[in-house]
Amino acid sequence: MEDGLEGGCACGAVRYRLGTAPMFVHCCHCRDCQHQTGSAFVINALIETDRIAALGATPGPVPVPTESGLPHRIFRCPTCQTAVWSEYGGRAALRFVRVGTLDQPASLSPDVHIYVRSKLPWVQLPEGVPAFDAYYEATKLWPAASLERRLAALRR
């Protein structure tokens, strides 16, 4: 990532810039993500909240139910209601940015596929990308620098 990735909502009111590369990129096939997006999966770039610069309107949080019962807030454009990012488990220091809202979504590809137990049968997973029936242990998959960034963000 040279100058940071930019993105925004469908109407253009919400704009943002990622100040650094994300820590890790998930492609989630869980039923919650399928319901919330109306799609087969969602691709989320995990990044520290303070590394996202707002360039336009501020998206607002909408609490949604989860199978786990843990808090999940989806941040949506106040005008067009596009989901721009999420916070999971009450951890406001970390954001899961919807890769599809980036101006150049092809800039980030998934590092892992998760909850493939509920993957739709016609979705083909790419060779060489780890895939898990449920979640996984980040300490076994994430680069050391990303693990350090995550820990630092959660300590703030």
Q: At which residue do the structure tokens 């919400």 appear?
A: 14
Q: What is the pLDDT of residues 20-52, one digit of tens each?
A: 999 999 999 999 999 999 999 999 999 999 999
CA atoms within 13 A on the CB side of 27: 22
Question: Residue 22 in contact with residue 47, Cβ under 8 Å?
Answer: yes
In terms of Cβ atoms closer than 10 Å to its own Cβ (0-12, 13-18, 19+), residue 141 is middle
For each of the domains in the chain, give its residue range(s) and CATH number, in order of start: 5-155 (3.90.1590.10)
Cα 83 from Cα 18, distance rounded (Å): 16
Nearest to residue 75, comparing CAs of 104, 108, 36, 41? 36
Query: What is the distance of C-alpha 82 from the center of its chain?
Result: 14
User: What are the start-end ranges of the H helices in the chain?
Assistant: 31-37, 138-141, 144-155
Q: Which residues contact 44 (CB under 8 A, 6 or more apart)?
A: 25, 26, 28, 85, 86, 96, 97, 98, 99
pLDDT tens-place values along the chain, 156 residues long? 556 799 999 999 999 999 999 999 999 999 999 999 999 999 999 999 999 999 999 999 999 988 788 889 999 999 999 999 999 988 999 999 999 999 999 999 999 999 999 999 999 999 999 999 999 999 999 999 999 999 999 998
| Alpha carbon of residue 116 to chain centroid | 16
Q: Which amino acid, one-letter code, is at 72?
A: H
16-41 residues labelled b (16+ CB within 10 A) or e (exposed): bbbeebbbbbbbbbbebbbebbeeeb
